[in-house]
């Protein structure tokens, strides 16, 4: 197996298993990554202010080596300072007065744009968050290949992936268990495509047929239909595939899928320019804790 492809598969699988851990990081970039050599909109998400503070008053992003900055997005009421040195440049936003500061209970994005390297790898953006009381330096980087889980103040991570590998973030994915003799089941997940696109297909050796379906009520009957053009993924918006809604229908199962097993799948995507990419994952069988799977009568 191509080492890069294996690395991408491992990273994607880790995201499925520890996706909740990423949500605990307070200054992050959207998941999914960026394609080698591409222009990338880096939207740094600020979750809340520093501990004991009422507001965020400043954010300074240190640019990693290999990332070439093109511009940064100004914010009303904030001063913008930009240093474009490759490898040690910095973009800094500073609130001009207390009224313009970001309250602790609000979320916001600070956006800059640049070009990522032409070779695959991981970029770490170290971010200094300044508040009305104290500051936090989100700058911890894990050992090579390790997860950020357990780090108190991890840097923001961006995976730069090879051409043909989808830059779509997949979280909370799972497959409903089946019993011997059962011919079909469903797969569910949350998809976020930073640049937008469309989920156009899925394949798995566990089933003879895998299709993207939609379930919705028509009168008093729940009906299920295939989406022949696939499922649209608006830029930056999370689209959830869940029981009773959009989902992957797996038919002609090769064997029963027991809870605790994993199912290899390949998700196929297409962007606005018609560029096709794919992502290989291993989905756990069994609903995550707290997930209810309602039973509905449905007809094709």
Domain with CATH 2.60.40.2230 in the chain: 22-161
Contact criterion met (CB below 8 Å) for 153 and 252: no
CB 248 within 8 A of CB 202: yes
Q: What is the pLDDT of residues 239-279, one digit of tens each?
A: 999 998 999 999 999 999 999 999 999 999 998 888 899 99
**Which runs of E-coded beta strand occur in 204-271?**
207-218, 221-226, 231-233, 238-241, 246-253, 262-270
* 50-64, 83-97, 252-266, 274-288, range with the lowest pLDDT: 83-97
Output phi, psi for 9, to 5 deg.
-65, -40
Is the model's pLDDT at 216 over the cut of 60? Answer: yes
Tokens of 41: 């909109």
Q: Which residue has the tokens 């492809």?
A: 5
Could you tell me which residue, 6 or 28, shows the higher pLDDT?
28
pTM strictly above 0.75: no
What fold, for 169-286? Answer: Immunoglobulin-like (2.60.40)
Q: Select from 2.60.40.2230, 2.40.50.180, 3.30.70.2190, 1.10.630.10 the CATH code of 22-161.
A: 2.60.40.2230
Tokens of 13: 């699988």
Q: pLDDT band at residue 217, thresholds of 50, 70 and 90?
A: low
Does 2 have pLDDT greater than 60? Answer: no
Residue given tokens 């040195």 in the structure block: 85
**Which residue ranges does the chain devote to CATH 2.60.40.1890?**
169-286
Q: How far is CA 44 from CA 31, 129, 163, 176, in A?
A: 11, 11, 24, 34
Pairwise CA distance, residues 227 & 197, whole Å: 15
- Does the pLDDT of residue 23 top 90, yes or no? no
């Amino acid at each position: 197996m191509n080492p890069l492809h294996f690395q991408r598969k491992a990273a994607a699988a880790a995201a499925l298993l520890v996706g909740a851990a990423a949500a605990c990081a307070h200054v992050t970039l959207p998941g999914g990554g960026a394609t080698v050599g591409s222009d990338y909109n880096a939207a740094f998400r600020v979750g809340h202010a520093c501990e004991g503070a009422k507001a965020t008053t400043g954010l300074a992003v240190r640019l990693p080596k290999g990332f070439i900055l093109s511009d940064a997005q100004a914010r009303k009421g904030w001063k913008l300072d930009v240093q474009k040195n490759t490898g040690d440049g910095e973009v800094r936003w500073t609130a001009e007065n207390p009224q313009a500061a970001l309250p602790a209970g609000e979320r916001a994005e600070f956006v800059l744009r640049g070009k990522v390297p032409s070779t695959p790898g991981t970029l770490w953006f170290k971010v200094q968050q300044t508040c009305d009381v104290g500051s936090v330096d989100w700058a911890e980087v894990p050992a090579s290949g390790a997860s950020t889980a357990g780090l108190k103040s991890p840097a923001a991570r961006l995976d730069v992936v090879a051409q043909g590998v989808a830059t779509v973030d997949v979280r909370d994915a799972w497959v409903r268990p089946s019993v011997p003799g059962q011919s079909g089941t469903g797969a569910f997940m949350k998809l976020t495509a930073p640049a937008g696109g469309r989920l156009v297909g899925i394949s798995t050796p566990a089933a003879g047929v895998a299709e993207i379906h939609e379930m919705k009520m028509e009168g008093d009957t729940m009906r299920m239909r295939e989406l022949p053009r696939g499922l649209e993924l608006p830029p930056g918006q999370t689209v959830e595939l869940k029981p009773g809604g959009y989902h992957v229908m797996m038919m002609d199962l090769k064997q029963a899928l027991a809870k605790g097993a994993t199912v290899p799948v390949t998700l196929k995507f297409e962007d606005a320019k018609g560029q096709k990419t794919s992502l290989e994952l291993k989905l756990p069988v069994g609903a995550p804790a707290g997930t209810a799977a309602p039973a509905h009568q449905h007809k094709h």
